[in-house]
Chains A and B, each alone.
Chain A
Amino acid sequence: AQKITQTQPGMFVQEKEAVTLDCTYDTSDPSYGLFWYKQPSSGEMIFLIYQGSYDQQNATEGRYSLNFQKARKSANLVISASQLGDSAMYFCAIPDNTDKLIFGTGTRLQVFP
């Protein structure tokens, strides 16, 4: 069965600095993908970035990038040039064998001036 682990309950970063949010996974699927979502205090879940296991290059979307290391089974989210508006909960997720998403427990990021 698929499993997602986010070991950082909370992270702090200063504005304009980069921050890495950790995510490790366990899956027996030969082909899989990892999703990252942002949840601000207002509650909506916002899709940020996705990478498939066969993608050759790490995915990037604006200030978000995935540091995908298959051998370590990790898919860390890197946020560059942090902004105050980046303060939120961040969840990584992996599809199970019926394509439903399994979410991690989340990391609360706080950006300070």
Chain B
Amino acid sequence: SQTIHQWPATLVQPVGSPLSLECTVEGTSNPNLYWYRQAAGRGLQLLFYSVGIGQISSEVPQNLSASRPQDRQFILSSKKLLLSDSGFYLCAWSGGLRAQPQHFGDGTRLSIL
């Protein structure tokens, strides 16, 4: 069966520090991959999605970037974190067909001090 791993679960970082969040999927090949951010008490905002290695689409202008160095690995990065980057970050994968759901990791709570 397919599983998705996302780490770390919690992260506290100072303003201006770099960021790297990692997400890996097991049990499937060539998944679509997604990074979302969720502010407290709010809905999900899609940040990036990828349909293949090296293929990244950005949904909103921001201080973050994403990379997909391997088929089942998706990385969210920043060179210098801002206070506004605080939030709950979720990684997800899907099989790419419209009737297939996205399956989410457990999320990372990022606090910027």
Contacts and interface: CB of A to CB of B under 8 A. Distances in A.
State yes or no: do A and B come from one complex: yes
Nearest to B92: A45
B106 interface: yes
Interface string A61-102: 000000000000000000000000000000100010001110
B64 to A, nearest CB: 17
Interface residues of B, number: 23
A87 B59 CA distance: 31
Q: Give the one of A31, A46, A95 with max B CB within 10 A.
A: A95
Given A43-B106, A43-B107, A43-B109, A35 B101 contact: yes
Given A103-B43, A105-B42, A50 B99 contact: yes
Contact of B107 (A37, A44, A100, A103): A44
A27 B46 CA distance: 19
A77 to B, nearest CB: 14
A44 B103 CA distance: 10
B88 A43 contact: yes
Given A43-B109, A45-B90, A45-B104, A33 B99 contact: yes
A33 B46 contact: no
Interface string B79-102: 000000000101010001111011
B109 to A, nearest CB: 7
B44 interface: yes
B102 to A, nearest CB: 6
A35 B90 CA distance: 17
Interface in A21-47: 31-33, 35, 37, 42-47
Given A45-B44, A103-B44, 11 more contacts: A32-B98, A33-B98, A33-B99, A45-B92, A47-B101, A91-B43, A91-B44, A99-B32, A99-B98, A100-B59, A103-B43
18 contacts: A31-B98, A33-B98, A42-B106, A43-B88, A43-B90, A43-B107, A45-B44, A45-B107, A50-B99, A91-B44, A100-B59, A101-B46, A103-B43, A103-B44, A104-B43, A105-B42, A105-B43, A106-B42
Considering the complex of A and B, which 5 residue pairs feature the smallest CB-CB distances, nearest first?
Answer: A45-B104, A47-B101, A43-B107, A105-B43, A103-B44
